[in-house]
């Protein structure tokens, strides 16, 4: 059964008109050109960044270059803070303080722990 699936089949002629096929071919070629243009731009950007990185490493004093060229493979800490562009709203901090005071005052005098 697998061999039968891999064997070539006869394909009948296309039911699309020749003009539609030509238009589709032109669109495919234009898409390919744009995709390659974007890919080349991405490659050029990456090459420029690598060139600048190597130039910066070469500009370091000789005794610092070996340490700077070693990759940092240490994992990120799992409990790192996520910094934001703005501080949290004061209402959030005030609300948290009120809830904390309320929770502490509620447990005073109870034997639950």
pLDDT in tens, 39-85: 999 999 999 999 999 999 999 999 999 999 999 999 887 877 777 78
How many degrees, rounded to 5, is the angle at CA 18 between CA 16 and CA 19? 105
Element (H, E) at 66: helix 65-69
pTM here is 0.50
Question: What residue spans define the domains of the chain?
Answer: 18-70
pLDDT at residue 107 is higher than 60: no
């Amino acid at each position: 059964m697998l061999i039968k699936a891999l064997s070539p089949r006869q394909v009948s002629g296309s039911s699309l008109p020749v003009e539609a096929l030509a238009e589709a071919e032109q669109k495919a070629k234009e898409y390919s050109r744009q995709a390659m243009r974007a890919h080349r731009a991405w490659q050029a950007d990456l090459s420029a960044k690598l060139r600048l990185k190597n130039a910066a490493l070469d500009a370091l004093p000789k005794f610092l270059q070996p340490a700077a060229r070693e990759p940092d493979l240490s994992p990120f800490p799992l409990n790192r803070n996520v910094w934001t562009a703005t501080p949290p709203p004061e209402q959030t901090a005030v609300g948290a303080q009120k809830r904390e005071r309320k929770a502490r005052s509620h447990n005073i005098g109870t034997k639950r722990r």
